[in-house]
Amino acid sequence: MTMQTNSVESQRQSLSGLFWATCRREYLLSFRRKSDLVNPLIFFLMVATLFPLGVSPEPGFLSQLAPGVVWVAALLATLLSMDALFRSDYEDGSLEQLLLSPQPLFVVVLAKVLAHWSVTGLALTLMAPLLGVMLFLPADGMPGLMLSLLLGTPTLSLVGAIGAALTVGLRKGGVLISLLVLPLYIPVLIFGSSAVQAAVTGLPLGGYLALLGALLALALGLAPLAISAALRISMSS
């Protein structure tokens, strides 16, 4: 009995060890390849800058547009960064080693997505108030913007990773990811930007945040399994 508890304990230790080792590796990788780190953020900023230039610089008009623009820009920036998630592992053979590991694949996958989210989604969330100010989003909307992005962007990363895993074996998977994943992003976009709009007009936003949270819980539970299966299919050919 004690031996069994011991082995369960040591297994749990090795799983959390694997989780943190993978996170560490991903952070090291992204901080040494700074372009991957900075590109989505610059893209996010650029897209939001284009609207006042292209549509109208009039504050009243922009403040109406702001929730949607910030959300769409965050969504596209996440999508842009997704393709790189498994690509380099596929190209240098690390992905083969990952699939042949006796450890459960979803632990590594979850660690990779979490690390990826914290350098894209979380960074976008922290940058969002700047864009809000640029687009004359009323100050009342800021907490709503931050909260909705904080709950919404992990879902975007998790769902995007399924697309990335399915297309990793293809030479030009970038466009295909958008086609696969964008329809699944729509609910997150709708509830996310509605939450910001509700916050701006002073309506309660608890309902929207609860829905975003539910989507996140669903994605957190199911996406790692889907990603693992997709990776196995991609490597099998």
Q: Which residue among 6, 7, 56, 97 contacts another protein (CB under 8 A)?
A: 97
> What is the size of the binding site for another protein (CB under 8 A)?
27
Near another protein in 9-38, by CB under 8 A: 14, 17-18, 21-22, 25, 28-29, 32-33
Site string for another protein, 104-123 (x = CB under 8 A): ----x---------------
Q: Which residue among 103, 134, 169, 213 contacts another protein (CB under 8 A)?
A: 103
Q: Which residue among 8, 9, 38, 96 contacts another protein (CB under 8 A)?
A: 96
Q: Rounded to the nearest whole angstrom, what is the least distance from the CB of residue 93 to another protein in the complex?
A: 3
Q: Rounded to the nearest whole angstrom, what is the least distance from the CB of residue 17 to another protein in the complex?
A: 6
Cα–Cα dist 72/228, whole Å: 28
Q: Which residues bind another protein (CB under 8 A)?
A: 14, 17-18, 21-22, 25, 28-29, 32-33, 88, 91-94, 96-103, 108, 235-237
